[in-house]
A and B are shown apart, each in its own frame.
Chain A
Amino acid sequence: MSAVTINESSLKDIMSQPDTVSASAAPVETPAQVVTQPRPTPFFQTERGQALLESAGNVFRAVLPPAIGLALFVLLWQIVSSSGGEQGLPGPAKTWESAQVLFADPFYDNGPNDKGIGWNILHSLYRVGAGFGLAALVGIPLGFMIGRFRFLAGMTSPIISLLRPVSPLAWLPIGLYVFKETEPASLWVIFISSIWPIILNTAAGVSRVPQDYLNVARVLNLSEWKIFTRILFPSVLPHLMTGIRLSMGVAWLVIVAAEMLTGGTGLGFWVWDEWNNLNVEHILIAIFIVGIVGLLLEQSLMLIAKRFNYE
């Protein structure tokens, strides 16, 4: 009996095998559908949710390191200032309070040596703008000519190599002697220190105009003017923008130092004036202002430069 039952059951197993195969093949699809359709996917597993998570993560990764860096910086500042006791550097809180007072009325004018911080910033910006503008006015055409004519490049290269490394402030006495006044002398210092990057970058840009473009100009037999406006200038523009950016950076570095020496108005003067008043909070604030304005100048020039990048 037992043998028969074993045979029967094993026979049943064998007989049912195709059934079980087909039965298991069909439901493979059905349970998947049954599971996915009625139950809503959690939001963070959908495509939009994933994208949101990812962008949030990106923002987090972009913001977190600078935030920690700045926080550590302020902490360090606090430690340095509190370790100095009464005579130590003003701490962040004290400086912040002082800054609030300072920026409450930025444009007051109490005579030549007592103007609001806004005026001082504008004066420095004006000097940088004027000196740098003159440098661009002279430097850009000069750079184009140096780049275009090898003879001129040979002529000017020793002069440029000699004068370029001279510290900007060394030019101040020359300016004072020639112009007899402080205002043009400080413009002169800005001019002479910011002209080199403009000349050198423009010249490099001109000499690196791809031969392909010049061949197009030659095949078309374009006039010098058309070559300049349609090929040379647009091709050099990215290099020119780099020169302008470097020049602006130099000009902004130099202005504070020049104004310390010439006096009158401007951020540099203000720093020195506050040193004489022993108002150290204001000196710290000035350092932040110089940094922030320089950063803004740099960033806005970067934005303009991006506009002219054709690659």
Chain B
Amino acid sequence: MHNYLHIENARMVFDTKKGKFTALTDINLTVKQGEFIALIGHSGCGKSTLLNLVAGLTEPTDGILLLSEREISGPGPERAVVFQNHSLLPWLTCFGNVHLAVERVFGAKENKARLKERTQAALELVGLAHAMHKHPNEISGGMKQRVGIARALAMEPKVLLLDEPFGALDALTRAGLQDELMRIVQETHATTLMVTHDVDEAVLLSDRIVMMTNGPAATIGEILEVGLPRPRDRLKLAENPAYHHLRGQVLEFLYQKHMKKAA
């Protein structure tokens, strides 16, 4: 396991109408290949901004971001993003949405039959083979989010970036998708960066939890190692004292050390 994703002294300043706004400062983080990182913090702390930096959707004001020793400049399919609001194209079917990504990444090297296979395999991986030919407006929110995950996974990215992927879902759907994501990550060994504000989700899914301080000028406050053995089972973890200890540590960070002032 070598250092894979490397962020050094990243700083992000936005130009707003009220002048300059420093969103992030002094961000230093190294992620190993195959590691699952959760970014947690209060809303507005810039965790999505950090994800967008890794995605290349925004460029840092200062600092360097490296992925396998190459500088990240601009977005690219080797860093697939699962967006918070699924961002499926409504005029394409589920198949079409995934296929668009598959075609882009593998279209130059592989024939049409193989591209179709890849698309179907990705949809099967998230358990949506049956809804392949439906349009996004015909399926539920949880299914849409699964198509978004399938689209990202189908690209066989070096890094999978998840921006609060389950935030808009109800608790039951969320739990189901978390289990599914855990299984998929286990199978594909994807290096994953996930933004969340759900403490249980962070402890359940990740190898390390990156806890961010409040903005403006937010930075990484603490990094917590989650040593829980895999595969993890949410029911068994509920009785595991280590799990509760970790959970308590994250809660303590969020609600005692860095309580967000009520707006």
Q: Using Cβ atoms and an 8 Å threshold, which residues of chain A touch B81?
A: 215, 219
Q: Using Cβ atoms and an 8 Å threshold, which residues of chain A touch B90?
A: 310-311
The answer to whether B137 touches A220, judged by C-beta atoms less than 8 angstroms apart, is no
Q: Which residue in A216, A219, A311 is a CB contact (below 8 Å) of B89?
A: A216
Closest beta carbon of chain A to B222's beta carbon, Å: 30
With A230-B89, A231-B89, A310-B137: A220-B104 Cβ-Cβ less than 8 Å: yes
Closest beta carbon of chain A to B44's beta carbon, Å: 19
Q: Judge whether A293 is part of the interface by a CB distance below 8 angstroms.
A: no
For window 91-137 of B, CB contacts with A under 8 Å fall at 91-92, 100-101, 104-105, 135, 137
Tell me the complex Cα distance, A212–B57, Å: 11
Query: Size band of the A side of the interface?
Result: 10 to 19
Q: Which residue in A218, A226, A231, A234 is a CB contact (below 8 Å) of B57?
A: A218
Tell me the complex Cα distance, A184–B62, Å: 61
Q: Using Cβ atoms and an 8 Å threshold, which residues of chain B touch A218?
A: 57, 74-75
Encoded as 1 (CB less than 8 Å from any B CB) or 0, chain A from 218 to 237 comes to 11111000100011001100
The answer to whether B137 touches A215, judged by C-beta atoms less than 8 angstroms apart, is no
For window 216-245 of B, CB contacts with A under 8 Å fall at none
With A234-B91, A310-B91: A219-B79 Cβ-Cβ less than 8 Å: yes
Closest beta carbon of chain B to A215's beta carbon, Å: 6
Closest beta carbon of chain B to A297's beta carbon, Å: 25
Q: Which residue in B80, B135, B137 is a CB contact (below 8 Å) of A219?
A: B80
Query: Size band of the B side of the interface?
Result: 20 to 34
Closest beta carbon of chain B to A213's beta carbon, Å: 6
Encoded as 1 (CB less than 8 Å from any A CB) or 0, chain B from 48 to 75 comes to 0000000101000000000000000011
Q: Using Cβ atoms and an 8 Å threshold, which residues of chain B touch A234?
A: 89, 91
Tell me the complex Cα distance, A230–B87, Å: 14
Q: Judge whether B77 is part of the interface by a CB distance below 8 angstroms.
A: yes
For window 204-263 of A, CB contacts with B under 8 Å fall at 212-213, 215-216, 218-222, 226, 230-231, 234-235
Q: Using Cβ atoms and an 8 Å threshold, which residues of chain A touch B77?
A: 219-221
Q: Which residue in B89, B104, B135 is a CB contact (below 8 Å) of A221?
A: B104
Q: Using Cβ atoms and an 8 Å threshold, which residues of chain A touch B155?
A: 220
Q: Judge whether B85 is part of the interface by a CB distance below 8 angstroms.
A: yes
Tell me the complex Cα distance, A216–B80, Å: 9
Closest beta carbon of chain A to B139's beta carbon, Å: 13
Q: Judge whether B253 is part of the interface by a CB distance below 8 angstroms.
A: no
The answer to whether A219 touches B57, judged by C-beta atoms less than 8 angstroms apart, is yes
Q: Using Cβ atoms and an 8 Å threshold, which residues of chain A touch B83?
A: 212, 215-216
Q: Using Cβ atoms and an 8 Å threshold, which residues of chain A touch B80?
A: 219
The answer to whether B85 touches A212, judged by C-beta atoms less than 8 angstroms apart, is yes
Q: Using Cβ atoms and an 8 Å threshold, which residues of chain B touch A212?
A: 83, 85, 87
Closest beta carbon of chain A to B122's beta carbon, Å: 14
Q: Judge whether B167 is part of the interface by a CB distance below 8 angstroms.
A: no
Q: Judge whether B248 is part of the interface by a CB distance below 8 angstroms.
A: no
For window 21-51 of B, CB contacts with A under 8 Å fall at none
Closest beta carbon of chain A to B93's beta carbon, Å: 12
Closest beta carbon of chain B to A237's beta carbon, Å: 8
Q: Using Cβ atoms and an 8 Å threshold, which residues of chain B touch A213?
A: 87, 89
Nearest CB to that of A237 among chain B residues?
B91
Q: Using Cβ atoms and an 8 Å threshold, which residues of chain A touch B105?
A: 220
Q: Which residue in A220, A310, A311 is a CB contact (below 8 Å) of B100?
A: A220
With A230-B100, A311-B137: A219-B85 Cβ-Cβ less than 8 Å: no
Q: Which residue in A222, A231, A310 is a CB contact (below 8 Å) of B104?
A: A222
Nearest CB to that of B86 among chain A residues?
A212
Nearest CB to that of A233 among chain B residues?
B91
Q: Which residue in A216, A226, A310, A311 is a CB contact (below 8 Å) of B87?
A: A216
The answer to whether B75 touches A221, judged by C-beta atoms less than 8 angstroms apart, is yes
Nearest CB to that of A215 among chain B residues?
B57
Q: Using Cβ atoms and an 8 Å threshold, which residues of chain A touch B137?
A: 310-311
Q: Using Cβ atoms and an 8 Å threshold, which residues of chain B touch A222?
A: 100, 104
Which residues from chain B sit less than 8 Å from chain A, CB to CB?
55, 57, 74-77, 79-81, 83, 85, 87, 89-92, 100-101, 104-105, 135, 137, 155
19 more A-B residue pairs beyond the given contacts A219-B80, A310-B135, A311-B137, with a C-beta to C-beta distance below 8 A: A212-B85, A215-B75, A216-B87, A216-B89, A218-B57, A218-B75, A219-B55, A219-B57, A219-B76, A219-B77, A219-B81, A220-B77, A220-B101, A220-B105, A221-B77, A222-B100, A230-B89, A231-B89, A234-B91
Listed from nearest, the 4 A-B pairs whose CB atoms lie closest are: A310-B90, A212-B87, A234-B91, A218-B75
